[in-house]
Structure 1
Amino acid sequence: MTTIPASARRLVESRASRRCEYCLLPAAVSFFSHEVDHIVALKHGGKTNPQNLAYACWRCNRFKGTDLGSFDPETGLFSFLFNPRDQTWAEHFQLQDNCVNGLTPEGRTTVHLLQLNSDERRAERQRAAANRADDL
């Protein structure tokens, strides 16, 4: 297990605006703490540097694991997962009625592999939206 320096953790958390970089769940409404994780796992040659670190909720982090990609559920072709350092969320996903829709092979593959539209995930997004409405 690699120790991620506190300064890198703070940078990653701040850069992500304290939201999961895969599903956008705010850390403030998550039951479990968000985590700093390697986008490309160490076992695949990833490095412990800010360019390879993402802020992820525990569900996204567990479902992603060390995976780099999977099969696009629409085409059946292999696709890499969404990379929050190299890609823009809005180009690959759309949030509609508490569902995350994949717009590209990377988006669809990420939605599928990370199970972004499970009942629990949709309920989390609904709670997050309600919390934002309460703050207005």
Structure 2
Amino acid sequence: MGRKVLVLNQDYSALSVCSVPKAFLLVYMQKADMVAHSPTHVLRTVSEAYPMPTVVRLRRYIHLPYRGVMMTRQNIFKRDGNRCQYCGTNDNLTLDHVLPKSRGGKTNWDNLATACKRCNSRKGDYTPEEAAMPLRQRPFRPSFLMFIRDLSGAVDEGWLPYLGAKEAAY
């Protein structure tokens, strides 16, 4: 059961993604309401069948400070589609500082790009322009909603109205 469920705050804003068992438990314990369920899947016990949740809404509002996406190696790889931003391969990936650290480049979302070991080594201590290696996409900081919608893997079509997407592009 590798399916995921979108968890909404009481005001219907996207809060997180969790597993189906966790979402079912929230509904069963009356901490959340089921907003949408799968038309084709059910959860079965020995004597009962329950609809499988795809979107749940918490009954109490959760106050959270600004939610940003944590800058981790895996999240940068996800943002860049697990592809080298110079040649497009997906083998032997590593992180590259677009503006090298030796030239004052910082370790942040806007300066880190996914690169294969070959391209990272070839670029060396140069900028992409100096090395004649243009980036396929400039590094950027993804928003929390964008990260859930575009980068968290397969997104259920029922989630799109809550993630700011008008139509399914998946």
TM-score range (shorter-chain normalised) is 0.3 to 0.5
Structure whose residues are more often helix by fraction: 1
Q: TM-score, normalised by structure 1?
A: 0.44
Larger Rg: 1 or 2?
2
Q: TM-score, normalised by structure 2?
A: 0.36
